[in-house]
């Protein structure tokens, strides 16, 4: 049996984008449940769920749409998680196997934008909670939340897992209490009427919640890559899927119910609404756990942004990634994300809705190609050394993969529905945005077809490629 080395949680992580050897693998896939439950049981998910009612659905149909979207999107998200133990590298560096060493820069840059956007949007909510708790202005509150996230990201994988474990418990207790109080204080039953169903709006809300899950795709293998290589795909998948889908569905339905009974609940006052549900004297506890929950998701944003930025920069600079370089990358990404948060803290809900829909048009085709390559084309066997060297098997640029990716984006154009662009078939669909379905199915099939006559180098199972 291989002896594994498990560093202490307060020891700075040695690895960044490099391969994790077998002797450093450790843990059980059950830890993935708490990581993804904590990431989803926080106020940002509740804000997303509120959109189901804000956009015009009655509460019952909003709940159905939100749960359905999570169930569907969570499948792709959890399939990415299962890649971590098999490959032992972060999620986005795997893109070099599909797009080539230099070709992977395109999806990497888009993912970095996503990380920064989510870091900023969650930072606004965390800063609002801290400002309400302490009475300090919102800008320094946003900065303080960002500093805590930076410290956690600097220590890395084990401390993040430890932190998420405790926050998952605290968040579950908090939102169980708040859910009970919501039903006790507000007449949710009166809002539980089917009303008129607009299929276009219904599908739009399904798209929003599915996109929430899809956009976890670039994250998930980062937090499973230290698991032992022989960890089963099924166990990794189900622990991840259950934690993410249960957490997100609960909080989104909570947000929808809150928006249905309090019209202004999530329009600039979501944190105040949560504290208003608590009994006198417990406001501080609600705010504290809310802040901890925001940090739980934002450290994932920052950690992923750091590794994606590192993967991108090593294309042009392949020097050593020591602690000093690691610190510089993490701090640099945190500063950029914090500046965006401070600059965009006004008009939060509408900006957030547009942001998550816009991201899906570019990230879902990447997800489709990555999963098709892993499960269908290469059948989980990769040459890890080739991920770090453009002269080896995966080459500099894979034109076929880029063509499939761009095709997926272009074919979504008629179905996009945003405030700044509406596709020409959206009105015919009653306002529905089904671009994500096109963006997932078409690139996957195109990629497989384009590579059908290309020689794929087989890597023996059970070896370090």
Average pLDDT over residues 267-279: 67
Which helix or strand (DSSP H or E) is residue 262 part of? none
Please name every residue paired with 422 in a beta bridge, in sequence order, or none if there are none.
Answer: 417
pLDDT of residue 242: 97
Average pLDDT over residues 37-66: 90
Please determine, for residue 446, whether its predicted confidence score (pLDDT) is greater than 90: yes
In Å, what is the CA distance from 270 to each residue of 156, 258, 290, 317, 386? 30, 9, 11, 43, 47
Reported confidence tier of residue 216, pLDDT bands at 50, 70, 90: very high
Reported confidence tier of residue 350, pLDDT bands at 50, 70, 90: low
* Least confident range of 92-101, 193-202, 388-397: 193-202
Reported confidence tier of residue 205, pLDDT bands at 50, 70, 90: very high
Q: What angle do CA 342, 344, 350 make, to 5 degrees?
A: 145
Q: What angle do CA 436, 46, 168 make, to 5 degrees?
A: 105
pTM attached to this predicted model: 0.89
pLDDT of residue 356: 61
Average pLDDT over residues 132-144: 91
Average pLDDT over residues 319-324: 68
**Closest C-alpha among 450, 453, 459, 457 to residue 398:** 450
Reduced to 3 states (helix: H, G, I; strand: E, B; else coil), residue 57 is coil
Mean pLDDT of the chain: 86
Considering only the top CATH level, what class is 29-450?
Answer: mainly alpha
Average pLDDT over residues 406-415: 93
What are the φ/ψ torsions at residue 372 (nearest 5 degrees)? -60, -40
Q: Are 54 and 259 in contact (CB under 8 A)?
A: yes
Please determine, for residue 167, whether its predicted confidence score (pLDDT) is greater than 90: yes
pLDDT of residue 9: 56
* Boundaries of every domain in the chain: 29-450
Dist CA 365 CA 409 (whole Å) = 7
Which two three-digit tokens encode residue 252? 């989104």
């Amino acid at each position: 049996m291989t002896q594994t080395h498990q560093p202490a949680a307060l020891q700075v992580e040695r690895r960044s984008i490099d391969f994790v050897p077998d002797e450093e693998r450790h843990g059980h896939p059950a830890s993935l449940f708490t990581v993804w439950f904590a990431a989803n049981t926080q106020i940002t998910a509740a804000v997303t769920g509120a959109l189901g009612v804000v956009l015009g659905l009655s509460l019952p149909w909003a709940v159905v749409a939100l749960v359905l979207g999570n169930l569907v999107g969570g499948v792709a998200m959890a399939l990415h998680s299962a890649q971590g133990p098999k490959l032992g590298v972060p999620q986005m560096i795997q893109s070099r196997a599909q797009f080539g060493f230099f070709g992977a820069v395109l999806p990497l840059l888009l993912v970095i934008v996503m990380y920064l956007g989510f870091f900023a949007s969650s930072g606004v909510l965390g800063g609002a909670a801290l400002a309400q708790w302490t009475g300090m202005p919102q800008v320094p509150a946003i900065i303080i939340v960002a500093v805590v996230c930076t410290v956690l990201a600097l220590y890395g994988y084990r401390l993040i897992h430890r932190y998420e474990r405790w926050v998952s418990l605290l968040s579950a207790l908090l939102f169980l209490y708040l859910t009970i109080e919501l039903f006790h204080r507000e007449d949710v039953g009166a809002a539980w009427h089917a009303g008129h169903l607009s299929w276009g709006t219904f599908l739009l809300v399904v798209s929003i919640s599915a996109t929430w899950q899809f956009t976890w795709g670039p994250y998930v293998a980062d937090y499973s890559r230290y698991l032992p290589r022989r960890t089963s795909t099924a166990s990794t998948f189900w622990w991840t899927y259950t934690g993410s889908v249960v957490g997100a569905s609960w909080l989104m339905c909570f947000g929808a119910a809150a928006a249905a009974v309090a019209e202004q609940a999530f329009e600039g006052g979501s944190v105040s609404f949560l504290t208003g549900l608590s009994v006198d004297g417990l406001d501080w506890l609600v705010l504290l756990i809310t802040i901890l929950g925001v940090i739980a998701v934002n450290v994932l944003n920052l950690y992923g942004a750091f590794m994606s930025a590192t993967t991108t920069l090593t294309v042009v600079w392949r020097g050593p990634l020591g602690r000093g370089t690691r610190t510089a990358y993490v701090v640099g990404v945190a500063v950029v994300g914090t500046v965006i948060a401070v600059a965009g803290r006004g008009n939060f809900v509408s900006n957030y809705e547009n942001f998550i829909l816009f991201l899906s048009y570019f990230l879902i085709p990447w997800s489709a190609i990555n999963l098709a390559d892993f499960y269908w084309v290469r059948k989980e066997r990769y040459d890890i050394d080739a991920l770090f060297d453009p002269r080896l098997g995966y080459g500099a640029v894979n034109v076929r993969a880029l063509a499939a990716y761009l095709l997926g984006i272009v074919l979504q154009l008629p179905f996009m529905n945003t405030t700044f662009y509406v596709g020409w078939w959206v009105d015919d669909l009653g306002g529905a945005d089904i671009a994500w379905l096109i963006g997932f199915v078409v690139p996957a099939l195109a990629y497989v077809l384009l590579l059908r006559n290309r020689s794929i180098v087989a890597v023996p199972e059970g070896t370090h490629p």
